[in-house]
Every structure is written in C-alpha cells, then in structure tokens.
Amino acid sequence: MSQKYLAETAILDFRSDAIQALIAERGWSSLDPAARVGAAYEFVRNDILFGYNSNDALPASRVLADGYGQCNTKGTLLMALLRALDISCRFHGFTIDKGLQRGVVPELVFPLAPRNIIHSWVEVLIDGKWINLEGFILDQGVLGALQETFPYRTSLCAYGAGTDCLHAPPVEWSGQSTYIQKTGINHDFGVFDNPDDFYRDHRQLSGLRGLLYRLVIRHWMNRRVVRIRQGHVPTIPGGEDSLLPAHAPITMKEAM
C-alpha cells in the first residue's frame, strides 16, 4: 500500500508531542491493527466531545488541545492517530444539507448558514478493505439525549444527526463501517489522500460570515450542544417534516 496513506502533513501533524504522548500513555501501539483502529476511534468518538472549532482545517494537535470537534476536525484527529499507529487511511469529502444542523444552529442565524455544508468521513484500510468511519462525530452524551428525546423516531436529520436508525445507529467500532450523518449527505467530492489536499480547494465561511461564525455563532452553537448533552433538546420550527432529510439519498462515488 502506498506510503501516501501513512504520511504526515501540516494538518495531520501526528509527530507532535501531544499526540505521541497520548499514544504512549494509552499503550495503543502494542495492540493488533484492528484494536488500534478501535482504540483511536472510540477515543475520538467519546473523549473528544461534539462541538464546533474555529476552522475545519485545524491541525490534529490543535483539535486534541481543544478537546472537542465536529465531523471534519474530529476526522482530522482520527486520521492523525491512525497514521501515527501505522494504519493507512484517507479522506472522503462531501457536503451535507444544512438542515442536519438545525437545532444546533440557533434559528436567529440559521438563514446565514450555507445551504451545503462541508462534511467528511475517514476511510481506513483493514485486511485489504476500505472501511468508512463517520460514527465518531456525536459523543454518546449527545446521541443518548437525542434518543431519549425522540423515543419513537427511527429517522432523524437534525441536531447534528443524520440517520435512519436513531436507536441503533452503527456508531461503535466493530470492524465494520460506522455512520451517524450519512442521510444528510447531498454531494460527494470523492476521496483524497489527506485533508490538506481537500481544504486547498474546498473552504467555507469566509469574509464577514466567517468572522461572525468564529467569534460569535460557534460559541452559541457550542452552548446549545452542552444543553443538548444535558437533555435540554430545543424544539425545531416546522414540526415532524423538519426532522427529515430535505432530499433523496445520493449515490456515493465508487472507492478507488
């Protein structure tokens, strides 16, 4: 397998002291490959809380220092950990419909959000097969609160979740693909060797809107996530229809 799937980059800075110290402290390097994937995955899923960083293209060491992240930034940290553990991985870029973020983005500023929001998941090579990892995005506190709030729903596309199996989503590592935002995806950019290559051409929230997001809106969103984790899930205008995807599922590009 090509070394490009194991290479360090500016964003995947896995030789940083903090990432190397974490791996040494946890003893992950001594595990077999599948267990190494599982250990890194579960750490990113639950030890790194769901939340919104200042930038999608932050280095992995900064995401670790923040202690929280969303699909793109948690994915960056997971990729860095995997490569540090000698596990080949790559980046798959998408967009999701902004409706998936409803309930997290305050209604007052929801119209400012881009219609299509940059999204990604991590693809990991195990036993010669590429496996999709997306289920790490929501920590169990947030997911559990949504499950308790909507005990009779199967499908949900809001509050950061996009799933057709809310009460049994494939989010725990079992050697198979995991998903938690898949039903919100509305465009597939395909696979990239690393996030650096993707973000070179695909960036969002620039100018005044980006400044507002970084300085004000994301902090507002993070406070709402904390309240969701505590069981205070806000009501979304529009009734039941607003909790479903606004489009039919798309066909993913074939993995290369």
Contact in structure between 56 and 187 (CB atoms under 8 Å): no
* Residue 97 in domain: yes
* Residue 250 in domain: no
**Three-class SS of 162-178:** EECCCCCCCCCCCCCCE
**Does an H or E element contain 68, and which?**
strand 68-69
pLDDT value for 62: 98
* Residue 248 in domain: no
* Residue 249 in domain: no
* Residue 17 in domain: yes
DSSP lists the bridge partners of residue 188 as 94
Going by C-alpha positions, the residue among 178, 199, 179 that lies closest to residue 59 is 199
State how far the Cα of 85 lies from the Cα of 75, in Å rounded to an integer.
15
Instruction: Decide if pLDDT at 242 tops 80.
Output: no
Rounded average pLDDT over 73-83:
98
Q: Where are the alpha helices (DSSP H) in the chain?
A: 17-26, 33-42, 60-66, 71-84, 140-149, 195-201, 207-212, 218-229
pLDDT above 90 covers a percentage of the chain that reads 81
State how far the Cα of 19 lies from the Cα of 104, in Å rounded to an integer.
29
Instruction: Decide if pLDDT at 200 tops 90.
Output: yes
* Residue 256 in domain: no
Give the domain CATH number at 208: 3.10.620.30
Rounded average pLDDT over 147-175:
96
pLDDT value for 105: 94
* Residue 251 in domain: no
Structurally, the chain folds into a number of domains equal to 1
Rounded average pLDDT over 32-38:
97
pLDDT value for 211: 83
Instruction: Decide if pLDDT at 240 tops 90.
Output: no
Contact in structure between 252 and 188 (CB atoms under 8 Å): yes
pLDDT above 70 covers a percentage of the chain that reads 90
The residue written with tokens 């395909």 in the block is 190
Average pLDDT, the chain: 92
Instruction: Decide if pLDDT at 210 tops 80.
Output: no
* Residue 145 in domain: yes
- Tens of pLDDT along 56-69? 999 999 999 999 99
pLDDT class of 13 with cuts at 50, 70, 90? very high
Domain holding 87, by residue range, is 3-243
Going by C-alpha positions, the residue among 100, 99, 84, 86 that lies closest to residue 134 is 100
The region of weakest confidence among 9-23, 41-55, 102-116, 231-245 is 231-245
